[in-house]
Amino acid sequence: MNYTDEQIAVIGDNIIQALKTVYDPEIPVDIYELGLIYDVQISEEGEVKVVMTLTTPNCPVAESLPAEVREKVSAVEGVKDVDLELTFEPAWNKDMMSEEAKFELGILF
């Protein structure tokens, strides 16, 4: 069964909510607001591709954070499979954070 555009939009919103429950343990802001999620693509069949990065290539949670993202996205209703791609191009920088994250960290006043 293929999902409609409306169903895909709902799944996408639910994926974003799930991603907002994942935190970088060194920064008290979720990875979505930090800008670590570069792209989320959802096929009509419910297959999801997540392209993400880490704050640095030698991040202490380089193994566990992507696994947690895959687990949380997989748990979203309607998601059949998750392909997670970890990239460092472009390299993450603080400009990729949302205004909310910058405010939370005291970068934006």
pLDDT digits over 28-79, tens only? 899 999 999 999 999 999 999 999 999 888 888 888 999 999 999 999 999 9
Annotate 43-74 with DSSP letters as a single string.
Answer: -TTSEEEEEE--SSTT-TTTTHHHHHHHHHHH
In sequence order, what E strands does 1-109 have? 37-42, 47-52, 81-86
**pLDDT score for 106:** 87
**pLDDT score for 108:** 67
Entry field: residues in the chain: 109
Residue 35 and residue 96 in contact, taking contact as beta carbons nearer than 8 Å: yes
**pLDDT score for 17:** 98
Which of 8-17, 78-87, 89-98 has the weakest average pLDDT? 89-98
| pLDDT confidence tier of residue 109, bands split at 50, 70 and 90 | low
> Considering Cα of 23, then 29, then 34, then 38, what sign does the dihedral take?
positive
